[in-house]
Structure 1
Amino acid sequence: MKLTETPILPRFGAEISGIDLRQLLTDEARAAIVDAMNRWGVCVFRDTGLDNAGHIAFSRNLGHLETAPVVKDRPRRHPDHAEIFDASNLTPAGEILVDNNMVLHKKGDRLWHTDSSFMEKRSAYSLLLAYETPAEGGQTFFADMRSAYEDLPDDVRHKVDTMEAEHSLWWSRLLAGFPITEEEVDARPKARQPMAMPQPATGRTAIYIGSHALDVVGLPRKEGLELIEYLIDFATQPQYVFGVTWQPGDLAIWDNLTTMHRGGDFDIFNERRDMRRTTVREGAPPEAADDPFTDYFVKSTAPA
């Protein structure tokens, strides 16, 4: 099967057409999408016509889907579709969110990050579907971590190749202004990840870092944060970055192991932005049902 691929940057990101994502995929169509993902890192499909059920059904072609966490006093927005992660500024009742703590929590998504790097079981693909979009702003921006890795100074690339970083969701939330202390962040779960992520399918390597990262193993925190900040700044130079301007029905798939992304600003208290995400876990499906995101939040809120 031949997809139509329109590059966004010369080596990163493409708009894809020539396929109806609502239809059952053939093995050939699935392989063509995976091949496009390996080549571009981010694939954008316009006006898909997908709903929650179709979004989930299509996503299952790419691997095992995580389920959204069950968090105390915060019901899921889509309880009948546990695989849908809410990426909106809306309450479960569909009203614009005004709770200050939740607003600050979600503000962390506007920092450069890679989804779920704070989890030991990493996310491979994220698939974000637009339902409602603001009149202005609200884009999603992507950074090419493979090309950035290839352009690093040799001494920095050597560090990236040989070092690991510890990641915490709560660190990015602290950076965004959420009311949590550094000591509280340190008491909550972290995941240790390599700073370089080889991609066997292409032979390329990506920097694996983002605003969830708070420590470089073996370095004092201040020195590690300086290296993390340097890498984020380096990888988000204009030649590595593009933004997606959304219309309802648009779907973007990105490879979390080779990209970073962030949400763009918009008038969060007066404009609705309803975005919904499925998340494909890296590697083989689990042998038994599990719920690592709920476990993560339980451990994050458990008394010390």
Structure 2
Amino acid sequence: RMLLAVLFALAASSAEPGACAAPDAPDVVNRRGWDKCERCGGSERLGALVNIGDVRRADADAVSRVLGAVRDYGVVVLRGQDLTRHEQVEFTAKLGEVVALPGSFEGQDPEPGEPAIQRVTNFWANGTWKGAGKSFGQYWHQDGQFWPRSHRHILSMLYASAAPATGGQTGFADLRGALRALSPP
């Protein structure tokens, strides 16, 4: 069973308070290996595999490493985690304030007993299939885009308890890299 946690920071202009500045890294595709952090993705700036061990035992230094990697690489993968729903929320709280989505959120599938977790799955909490017409979020979007601009500096944590060997249809775009690649106005 493959388990992983993914965190990503929303792209933000460096002029905004708390914004993530783009790191100075050359555009190299699929470079691997870097101390205890392995880049895994399509660009030097997007994606890092960070090993901090069991996140339930993460101390302040480990949390700082994760947050630094999120700031620098946008998407961070923490492999090999086996967490209960409550432990997911506890780890999220180590990273910052836990934010529950509003009741009017389009997905309308919160985890029973853990309102801070929004289930993104083909099955309802009781195990029944949602049906062919119940896909959610299958379009390019920015998590938290509905929040006021001053509250968009959030991290989203995705926890896969089951993942297909290929596909999965989750993608991430390096908007900081795209902005840097634009020609001057």
Normalised to the residue count of structure 2, the TM-score between the two structures is 0.70
Relative distance call for 1:76 and 1:145 in structure 2 (3 A) is closer
- Equivalent pairs counted in the alignment come to 147
Map residues 131-142 of structure 1 onto 2, 5 A cutoff.
Answer: 131-134=161-164, 136-142=166-172
TM-superposed CA distance for 1:84, in Å, is: 0.5
Which amino acid in structure 1 is aligned with residue 89 of structure 2?
A: I
Q: Secondary structure at the match of 2:53?
A: coil
Map residues 198-209 of structure 1 onto 2, 5 A cutoff.
Answer: none
Are positions 1:90 and 2:120 aligned together?
Answer: no
- Equivalent residue, structure 1, for 2:175: 145
Q: Which has the higher strand share?
A: 1
Deviations 1:168-218 (A, max 9, x none): xxxxxxxxxxxxxxxxxxxxxxxxxxxxxxxxxxxxxxxxxxxxxxxxxxx
- Equivalent residue, structure 1, for 2:67: 34
Superposed CA RMSD in Å reads 2.5
Alignment counterpart, residue 55 of structure 1, candidates 82, 88, 101: 88
Measured in 1, the distance between the counterparts of 2:116 and 2:153 equals 13
TM-superposed CA distance for 1:66, in Å, is: 1.5
Which amino acid in structure 2 is aligned with residue 122 of structure 1?
A: R
- Equivalent residue, structure 2, for 1:12: 46
Structure of greater Rg:
1
Normalised to the residue count of structure 1, the TM-score between the two structures is 0.44
Choose between structure 1 and 2 for higher RCO, CA contacts under 8 A separated by at least 6 residues: 1
Q: Secondary structure at the match of 2:172?
A: strand
Relative distance call for 1:142 and 1:113 in structure 2 (3 A) is same
TM-superposed CA distance for 1:47, in Å, is: 1.6
Instruction: Note if contact 1:20-1:48 (Cα within 8 Å) is conserved in structure 2.
Output: yes
Measured in 1, the distance between the counterparts of 2:177 and 2:126 equals 42
TM-superposed CA distance for 1:154, in Å, is: 1.1
- Structure 1 gaps, min length 5: 156-304
Deviations 1:244-299 (A, max 9, x none): xxxxxxxxxxxxxxxxxxxxxxxxxxxxxxxxxxxxxxxxxxxxxxxxxxxxxxxx
Relative distance call for 1:89 and 1:69 in structure 2 (3 A) is farther
- Equivalent residue, structure 1, for 2:56: 22
- Equivalent residue, structure 1, for 2:141: 113
- Structure 2 gaps, min length 5: 1-34
Relative distance call for 1:70 and 1:4 in structure 2 (3 A) is same
Which amino acid in structure 2 is aligned with residue 114 of structure 1?
A: Q
Instruction: Note if contact 2:39-2:49 (Cα within 8 Å) is conserved in structure 1.
Output: yes
TM-superposed CA distance for 1:83, in Å, is: 0.8
Runs of 4+ that moved beyond 4 A: 74-77
Q: Secondary structure at the match of 2:113?
A: coil
Instruction: Note if contact 2:46-2:73 (Cα within 8 Å) is conserved in structure 1.
Output: yes
